[in-house]
Amino acid sequence: MQPQRPLTQNILPERPPLNLSEYEKAGGYQALRKVLAGMTPQQVTAAVLEANLRGRGGAGFPTGRKWSFVPMGPEAPQPKYLVINADEMEPATFKDRVLLEGDPHQLIEGIIIGAYAIQARMAYIFLRTTYTVAARNIAAAIAEAQAKGYLGHHILGSDFSIELHLHVSAGRYICGEETGLLNALEGKRANPRAKPPFPPVIGLWGKPTVANNVETICNVPHIINHGAAWFRGLSRVADGGTKIYGVSGKVKRPGAWELPLGVTIRELIEESAGGMRDGLAVRAILPGGASTDLLTADHLDVVMDFNGVAAAGSRLGTGTMVVVDDQTCIVGLVANLMRFFAQESCGWCTPCREGLPWLAKILTAIEQGRGEPDDIAILKEHIHLLGPGRTFCALAPGAMEPLQSALKYFEEDFLRHIRERRCPWR
Amino acid sequence: MPTIYIDNQPYTIAAGQNLLQACLALGFDLPYFCWHPALGSVGACRQCAVKRFKDDKDTRGELVMACLTPADEGTRIAINDPEAVQFRAGVIEWLMLNHPHDCPVCDEGGECHLQDMTVMSGHTYRRNRFPKRTHRNQDLGPFINHEMNRCIQCYRCVRFYHDYAGGTDLNVFASRDHLYFGRFEDGALASEFSGNLVEICPTGVFTDRTFKQHSSRKWDLQTAPSICPHCGLGCNTLPGERYGELRRVRNRYHHQINGYFLCDRGRFGYEHANGDRRIRQPLHVQRGKVPATPLTAEAALGEWAAMTRAGGRLIGIGSPRASLEANFALRRLVGAENFYAGLSAAEQAGLSAVCALLTDGPVPSATLQGAGLSDAALVLGEDVTQTAPLLALNLRRLRYRKAAVMAAGFQLPAWNDAGVRELAQLNLPNLFIAATHATRLDDEAFGTLHVPPAELLRFAAAVVAALDVPEAPEPDKGDAVAAMAWQTAQALLKAQRPLVVAGLAEGEPALVRAAAAIAGRLKAKGRAAELFVCVPEANSLGLALMQPKELAAAMAQGPAETVVVLENDLFRRAAPSAVTAWLAQARQVVVLDHLATQTTALADLVLPTAVAAETAGTWVNNEGRSQRAFAVMVPSGAARPAWRWLQAMALAMGRVDLKAWQSIDEVAAELAKALPCFQPITELTPAVTVPTSSGHLPRQSHRYSGRTAMRAHLDVHEPKPPADADAPLAFSMEGFDGPQPPGLTTRDWAPGWNSEQAQHKFQGEIAGLIETHDTGRRLVSPAGKALPVEFSPPAQAKHLSPGEFQLVPLHHIFGSEELSMAAPAVAQRAPQPYVGLGPDNGFAVDGQAIWLRIGELLTEQIVRIVSGLSPGLLGWPMGLPGMPPIVLPAVAKVEPS
């Protein structure tokens, strides 16, 4: 029997997650046994590469390729690390939470296999500070797996050993940035690092390190169990697998669902989320989290995969969208996002540290009716000045995405605020 | 040698640079903040953006940060591309959003990198209409003033203080646009190198607090190249004067010595020149029997002539803190047979050993910067942070150097500071420290050993043995000395460029010989081994090379006729009772000094001399390099350079043999004739290679203000500037104001570059040789004898009864050095009098008062626990005011209270 919704097959609302024996009964840890019984690390990486699994954290980098950058063999630096990025702090994103709270053993099995593929001896789960339920469930699952010998020395009698630690973050958005996360794990300021060097070569404590998203790593046991062809077949598009999509905003049934990669925005809003609340219409969509470009009601038939959303001028990001209705002020939305990004800047590079607060102040002023005609020019200038390559990491360019698309599609809203010296939506 | 293209013009550059270095070295103006030549690149400020093109067909290009982009073969960039220009203007606008624009009241104004970069980047009008963020400032102690509101968050302060200098109490707090650079609470910065923040900070957040007491603008200071008088390393300094007062000291880049940095003693010790203890007039003292009466110079010389009219033998006591010329003038006045070193017996024995090793030893002495490039180092018996502070700073580079070698394997260039430090973090360098107690540098060491002095020699012998038989198995861990010796030997053998450091701090010359023996063994095995010897004072080695007789010999001769003491407090050199008795028996005592000391109090006549910054002079540093300092200012009052007093004294006696001396060069030439090892000092006065009508270069900048007003309350006529025969420099603002020739740099300045960052305008290669600063000539360089150096076997430790302790010296960067302790800021940082006992001393706890009998002395002292000090040892802070002077070796017995 080949599952259609592998990631969430064991997750039922209102029920605690499967414990170890239940997870094993449901076919759990079979992928791990298969790997340890007869697959080389290279074969595991090849399988993941063949499955076209792209990172689910937002950037969509092919997971198998990321693993293949890690130095292998007896000469490779030791210890190597696998770090799971469970610091899901993108505003309006809650898709990893489903997996973290709902099926921690699936995560642990994925981690062990991923660590085997890169021959890491140490793994960390870097968890968002507010995910207390997840923390409890994961800690319990780690203890169970430890007791049963899935974690620790000589797993299932093999030569492979792995130590897994749960690290609960202190709670900053920038900790979700791969290298900021590594610094945070080391007990330093969560400033991103310069690249190169890239973490697979010089990462945690200067050693080779792979950082994978929760959803990404949870796919790995299923790819091992059912094969790359099956995984690619789950998707409607070229990239393999399912995706946990989410919808929030003033829809009838906000939530998160595992669906084939490549559903349309319309399907998500109208079928999964039950459509807009009565009397409201879609005006804009943040398709993949706060740091993606807004789309409009004209984009409802855009396919929600990496390439489809990119073609429409935005990013799939985390695949959890915010639907903006026609009663919500776009300027207020952008101002709110900008305050968030300004607040969460680590303060390392000038454009982000100084530029974002300035923009937040301007946007707040416009929203409150204190905008000035020259403000639009300053906003537009910053879209270029804070673009990709100008800043140290992707935080500020990400912050520019909702702003630039808001100015592209809704500039008149901004001008009305400035002309009327008030928010027309209030 | 790659070729790069800047605005379509080809340039050949040195390999292995980033684009920012390459552009600056080529003389382009490219603004930057977070990059620093000594700190490398991290890419935080984004100010150095340039446009890079894939090839000559690419017209779009992409913005890159020059500091993070390798200047590889064929790289094509445009500095003046409109997009790059606009982005750089944007960066400076952001940086200035919260800057208070308080330049008129800011001490940094006029030498502010932020001012320069703001102008360079073209930010003029303020568009931000929102309130600025503000911070509360901290009291960071006597050295550094804090004004956080000026901060532009370039992170250079923490990168220097924390990453480079190993400080732990300055950091960056909070995040986003509320970053705070400071301490976790108010308090004096603990690092011995905090003063460098003044120059590292591109704006006025960290400024010189001592300068603030008598502040001035950079362009208003009269400056000249000088040499730091506060230890034996010979760091190059740039003191500044205004209104007859020495107002500050800045670093003067020297690519082989101090590089970009000074220690706090060197930077803040200058106020001894202005302090209460300064002597500015000749004094008639009569050994304290009459109140000190000021005399005119003529009257003083008359008194001297009267003293010597009766004839009789003159005894001259030289000084390790006086210039070569001053010591030589004294030697000429009294005759070589009557010239004695003002050194303790242990110092003189040690310095003789050092001289012998540096002239005939097996390996050359390392330069200060060279020490930082070694790949393994052993520090033997020296707390270098206290005795040779900048050596400690350079040894702290070893960890980075080690990681940079590893990084090369990852195609990661050494200038990529952030990347290299990721690799460095778990890698301690091959640094081994053996000392009598825990030293400040121990945190950087791979191995440390804390043992009594005799055991240090046993350790050194074990290292030599392990080097001779490297295949010997690792000894049992139970014998810590043998185990660490084996480990040290293995690491030194693995190195290509090992370094052995020793010094005179322990008062045990055998340690220096032991260090040379170790270095010699390494050299015999084909390693480029070097020796670094720490000597106590600015001219210790220079004095020793003059081969003066021992002070003890002078005192042993019994009552002297006339004693002339040159810039020396004999109470720091010999037992106080012996000094007092000897001086009391002398028929007459003349002391030349600039500071009132116990010795000047016992003189008949005191003659005021110039401090280092007021006179030209030649100084020989620990590596044996002679360097010429020039007077920054004319000393006020009747003070004058010691050699000129000594010349005048000879004339007053009716002697004409010194009459011919017109300038320091003539004194130096005669010294070289008398003692040929000093021949190189005749080449020290740099040639003026730029057009000047007078042959002189100005000490005052072309912006020097108030020249005609300064003395207007005294006389509306502006006096002719004093002549200076000792330097090709004039006390004037007139003359050539372009790039200054070698060795005559009076300021770091280039058009558009008013801060010390202008240095790179004069460096052939960034952080390389500055043409204008490659000064100094080595006096000694060993021929490299293959013969192994031997050192005496470990002396049997003296048997101590219960309650008896062997005294070991403890040195303090702030406290042990004589001159700097006359500077209030430094004195404030010195410890209170104490004696040190180890944690397992079995007698006293921290803070407890105990009575000690040391020879005839009975004294009560407060105990401080000194980490690492073995039971049976008692640490005695050397030179600390308030502590009774002790001549080591000595034993202290705890007396019941």
CB–CB contact A202 B94 (8 Å)? no
State how far Cα A169 lies from the chain centre: 16
Give the pLDDT of residue B289.
78
Give the pLDDT of residue A1.
67
Cα–Cα distances (Å) from A246 to A321, A338, B5, B12, in that order, read 6, 22, 50, 56
Residues of B in contact with A344 (CB under 8 A): 176
pLDDT digits (tens, 9 = 90+) for B838-879: 998 888 899 999 999 998 889 999 999 999 999 999 999 999
CB under 8 Å to A180, separation ≥6 — which residues?
Answer: A172, A174, A190, A191, A192, A193, A346, A393
Give the pLDDT of residue B227.
96
A426 occurs within a structural domain: no
Q: Which domain holds residue A119?
A: 6-234
A271 occurs within a structural domain: yes
Paired tokens of B88: 């750089």
* CATH code of A275's domain: 3.10.20.600
CB–CB contact A196 B412 (8 Å)? yes
φ, ψ of residue B574 to 5 degrees: the values are -145, 170
Place of tokens 């957040």: B205
Q: Does position A320 have pLDDT exceeding 90, yes or no?
A: yes
Burial of B690 (C-beta count, 10 Å sphere; 0-12/13-18/19+): middle
Contact A362/A378 with Cβ under 8 angstroms?
A: yes
Same domain (yes/no): A306, A361: no
Domains: count for chain A: 3
Last-in-domain residue among A234, A266, A289: A234
Going by C-alpha positions, the residue among B745, B734, B733 that lies closest to residue B772 is B745
Q: Is the CB of residue B418 less than 8 Å away from at least one CB of chain A?
A: yes
Burial of B842 (C-beta count, 10 Å sphere; 0-12/13-18/19+): exposed
A16 occurs within a structural domain: yes
A377 occurs within a structural domain: yes
Closest chain A C-alpha to B177 CA, distance in angstroms: 5
pLDDT digits (tens, 9 = 90+) for B672-712: 999 999 999 999 988 787 778 777 899 999 899 988 888 89
For chain B, the residue count is 897
Last-in-domain residue among A217, A234, A251: A234
CB–CB contact B411 A196 (8 Å)? yes
pLDDT digits (tens, 9 = 90+) for A231-281: 999 999 989 899 999 999 999 999 999 999 999 999 999 999 999 999 999
Q: Does position B492 have pLDDT exceeding 60, yes or no?
A: yes
Cα end-to-end span (Å), chain B: 74
State the Cα–Cα distance between residues B577 and B562, nearest whole angstrom.
19
| Mean predicted confidence (pLDDT) in A157-169 | 96
Closest chain B C-alpha to A360 CA, distance in angstroms: 11
Same domain (yes/no): A99, A178: yes
A425 occurs within a structural domain: no
CB–CB contact B175 A172 (8 Å)? yes
Q: Does position A400 have pLDDT exceeding 60, yes or no?
A: yes
Q: Does position B379 have pLDDT exceeding 80, yes or no?
A: yes
Sequential DSSP letters for B546-596: T-PBPHHHHHHT-S-SEEEEES--GGGTS-HHHHHHHHHHSSEEEEEESB-
Same domain (yes/no): A149, A68: yes
Give the pLDDT of residue B422.
87
Give the pLDDT of residue B794.
57
Give the pLDDT of residue B786.
55
Same domain (yes/no): A348, A387: yes
At residue B771 the predicted structure's pLDDT band, cuts being 50, 70 and 90, is low
Same domain (yes/no): A35, A120: yes
Last-in-domain residue among A234, A251, A284: A234
Same domain (yes/no): A28, A151: yes
CB under 8 Å to B867, separation ≥6 — which residues?
Answer: B437, B438, B838, B839
Interface of A with B in 298-327 (CB under 8 A): none
Half-sphere exposure at residue B688, Cβ-oriented, CA atoms within 13 angstroms: 17
Same domain (yes/no): A96, A196: yes
A1 occurs within a structural domain: no
Give the pLDDT of residue A313.
95
Cα–Cα distances (Å) from B101 to B96, B126, B131, in that order, read 8, 11, 13
Closest chain B C-alpha to A70 CA, distance in angstroms: 13
> Which helix (H) or strand (E) is B545 found in, with range?
helix B540-545
CB-closest option in B49, B172, B419 to A197: B419
Q: Does position B795 have pLDDT exceeding 70, yes or no?
A: no
Least confident of A2-6, B62-66, B421-425: B421-425
* CATH code of A388's domain: 1.20.1440.230
**Residue A14 CB coordination number (10 Å):** 4
Residues of B in contact with A186 (CB under 8 A): 425
Closest chain B C-alpha to A151 CA, distance in angstroms: 26
Closest chain A C-alpha to B36 CA, distance in angstroms: 16
* CATH code of A201's domain: 3.40.50.11540
State the Cα–Cα distance between residues A75 and B36, nearest whole angstrom.
35
Give the pLDDT of residue B170.
97
Same domain (yes/no): A249, A367: no
A121 occurs within a structural domain: yes
Same domain (yes/no): A298, A416: no
Same domain (yes/no): A268, A415: no
A158 occurs within a structural domain: yes
Closest chain B C-alpha to A175 CA, distance in angstroms: 13
CB-closest option in B47, B129, B419 to A196: B419
Q: Does position B774 have pLDDT exceeding 70, yes or no?
A: no
Same domain (yes/no): A78, A99: yes
pLDDT digits (tens, 9 = 90+) for A343-386: 999 999 999 999 999 999 999 999 999 999 999 999 999 999 99
CB-closest option in B63, B176, B422 to A193: B422
Residue type, B443: D
Residues of A in contact with B178 (CB under 8 A): 347
Same domain (yes/no): A136, A265: no
Give the pLDDT of residue B785.
66
Q: Is this prediction's pTM over 0.80?
A: yes
Q: Is the CB of residue A188 less than 8 Å away from at least one CB of chain B?
A: no
CB-closest option in A194, A342, A378 to B176: A342
Residue ranges of domains in chain B, CATH in brackets: 3-95 (3.10.20.740), 132-271 (no CATH), 283-342+548-683 (3.40.50.740), 363-415+426-536 (3.40.228.10), 804-895 (2.40.40.20)
Cα–Cα distances (Å) from A283 to A294, A405, A418, B449, in that order, read 10, 13, 21, 72
Mean pLDDT, chain B, whole residue set: 93
3-class SS shares of chain A: helix, strand, coil, % to 5: 45, 15, 40
Residues of A in contact with B130 (CB under 8 A): 358, 361, 365
Q: Does position A299 have pLDDT exceeding 70, yes or no?
A: yes
CA-nearest residue of chain B to A391?
A: B46
Place of tokens 């899901």: A88
CA-nearest residue of chain A to B177?
A: A353
CB–CB contact A351 B46 (8 Å)? yes
Give the pLDDT of residue B796.
62
> Which helix (H) or strand (E) is B420 found in, with range?
helix B417-424
| Mean predicted confidence (pLDDT) in A304-328 | 95
Which of B52, B96, B173, B175 has the highest number of chain A CBs within 10 A, making it the mutation to test binding with A? B175
CB-closest option in A197, A349, A392 to B422: A197
